[in-house]
Amino acid sequence: MSHLTWGGVDCVELARTLETPLYVLDEGIIRERCAEIRSDFMSRWAGTWACYASKAFLTTSMAWIMDQEGLGLDVVSGGELYTALRAGFPPYRTNLHGNVKSERELHLALTSGVGHIIVDSLMELELLDGLAGEARRPSDRRGRPRILLRVAPGVDPHTHSYLVTGQAGSKFGLPLEGGPDGTSLLTEAVRFAMSSKSIALAGFHFHIGSQIFENGAFVEAVRRVAACMERLNKELGFKTRTLNVGGGFGVPASPDEPHLPLRLFTDAMMSVLTEECEARGLTRPYVTIEPGRWLVSRAGITLYTVETIKRLSDVTYVGVDGGMADNPRPALYQAQYHAVLANKIGEPPAEKVVIAGRCCETGDILVESAELPTVERGDILAIFNTGAYNFSMASGYNRLLRPAVALAHNGWADLIVTRQTYEDLLIGDVIPERLLT
Ligand SMILES: *Cc1c(COP(=O)(O)O)cnc(C)c1O
């Protein structure tokens, strides 16, 4: 019977020394993905770049690694931007996204000098134009703040309905085509941006969804956007210099299934974009991709301690010391996970169990069906593929302490986020004077 290792580190030992629940990231896998992005996308296709969608997982260490790997960083809030800036990440290599941005967040983006602000609506565009006029820094060598307009190409990427983001009628972006009355929000936005003296429109952005396993919808989105680029060029004389095609590249649920190569998605998109631009007499724009999950999901596992086992007549519940507070994805959209007993690797499966989270919700089931060796109290359970959208989606539900994050590499592990303490839970709590009398 052997132990699971992650990044060369014994997971049972990690659980003993750092306690559970514990997120563990294999730094080697993150760096392998970055190397694949450089070799199979950035070096293979001229005029391309990649930004890591940091909402998947962001800490100052992660921003540091992305900087070392030469990638850009997508942020969707003032908090993510602040984290990147505090990690010393070059602001001009960050992009600010989001369908709702507060005035304060736009102001932070303008004054810190982010690379692109991706504008989601006409109202945001007008607000930004005003703010940029006021916030103009004379020392800004890069001139006016650069923006992209987010468009919704109206394609269906065949993923969970909660993960579709570029369909017709989406809350994200502006539709490519006009409404029944012939007016087009996008045309209006481009016209407005072209006439602005405070901001510079560089091009467009789309992100059609997440956990996508085939390239059909990406290719269709590129075709539609290329047709729109031609239309805007003819109607308004607008030349698209940058096209950001988003992320969403899928990661199989089981660690036994092969990793999906980036080229599966990007080669198809780049070929079609090149063809379309040639056929339409357009210069191919500079292209950016934004992988999130694809880059970090497989690098992460979560370690839990088995606290209780309840054997009912038709089901066995294995209760662990974490749950939807550290991984809300099964409860949010039936995300599938694969689990093993980290202290019983190599033991044959003996039972089919349900892995139950400890939160006070019937829906807090981490794994619906896991085949494990005979489970005993105190076993260490490892759930795979938790590198993306686990730590970043963690909540304080039930006042559970947010787990620590360890970064493992070549047999060595470092804490990159410490476990919350009970004292931390009280930060920000105040009892007003009125109640104390
Ligand atoms: C979430 C998001 C991504 C990354 O999505 P993944 O599915 O994690 O690859 C990329 N771009 C934008 C704009 C996003 O909102």
Tell me whether strands 339-341 and 351-356 are parallel, antiparallel or unpaired.
Answer: unpaired
* CA 189 to ligand 1 center in whole angstroms: 23
Per DSSP, which regions of 70-109 are E strands? 72-75, 94-96
Using most ligand atoms within 8 A of CB, pick from 77, 116, 210, 266 the residue to mutate for ligand 1.
210
Using most ligand atoms within 8 A of CB, pick from 57, 71, 97, 269 the residue to mutate for ligand 1.
97
What does the pLDDT average to over 12-36? Answer: 98
Query: CA separation (Å) from 72 to 65, 173, 230, 416?
Result: 11, 22, 28, 21
**Range 67-79 burial, b when 16+ CB lie within 10 A, else e:** bebebbbbbbbbe
* CA 235 to ligand 1 center in whole angstroms: 31
- pLDDT for the residue 141: 61
Q: Does 358 have pLDDT greater than 70? A: yes
* CA 57 to ligand 1 center in whole angstroms: 11
> Is residue 158 very low, low, confident or very high in pLDDT (cuts 50, 70, 90)?
confident
**Is the C-beta atom of 55 inside 6 A of ligand 1?**
yes
Catalytic residue among 11, 228, 359, 360: 360
Query: CA separation (Å) from 203 to 97, 147, 286?
Result: 14, 7, 9
Q: How many CB atoms lie within 10 A of CB 231?
A: 18
Going from the N-terminus, what domains does the chain have, and what CATH number goes with each?
5-9+298-425 (2.40.37.10), 45-291 (3.20.20.10)
- pLDDT for the residue 98: 96
**Is the C-beta atom of 337 inside 6 A of ligand 1?**
no
* CA 4 to ligand 1 center in whole angstroms: 30
**Is the C-beta atom of 247 inside 6 A of ligand 1?**
yes
Q: Does 137 have pLDDT greater than 70? A: no
- pLDDT for the residue 406: 98
Q: Which residue, among 68, 54, 93, 111, has the nearest Cα to 247 in the 3D structure?
A: 54
Q: Does 178 have pLDDT greater than 90? A: no
> Is residue 75 very low, low, confident or very high in pLDDT (cuts 50, 70, 90)?
very high
What is the Cα–Cα distance from 216 to 412, expressed in whole angstroms? 41
Closest ligand 1 atom number to CA of residue 165? 15
Q: Rounded to 5 degrees, what are φ and ψ at 434?
A: -55, -35
How high is the mean pLDDT of the chain? 95
Three-class DSSP category at 422: helix
Q: Which pLDDT tens digit goes with each residue over 405-436?
A: 999 999 999 999 999 999 999 999 999 999 99
- pLDDT for the residue 324: 98
**Is the C-beta atom of 402 inside 6 A of ligand 1?**
no
Contact (Cβ atoms closer than 8 angstroms) between residue 370 and residue 355: yes
**Range 259-292 burial, b when 16+ CB lie within 10 A, else e:** ebebeebbbbbbebbeebbeeeebebbbbbbbbb
What does the pLDDT average to over 123-150? Answer: 84
What is the Cα–Cα distance from 17 to 227, expressed in whole angstroms? 57
**Is the C-beta atom of 290 inside 6 A of ligand 1?**
yes
> Is residue 160 very low, low, confident or very high in pLDDT (cuts 50, 70, 90)?
confident
Q: Does 181 have pLDDT greater than 90? A: no
- pLDDT for the residue 168: 73
Q: What angle do CA 133, 137, 139 make, to 5 degrees?
A: 150
Q: Which pLDDT tens digit goes with each residue over 202-235?
A: 999 999 999 999 999 999 999 999 999 999 999 9
Residue 228 appears among annotated catalytic residues? no
Token pair for residue 218? 């990406």
> Is residue 128 very low, low, confident or very high in pLDDT (cuts 50, 70, 90)?
very high
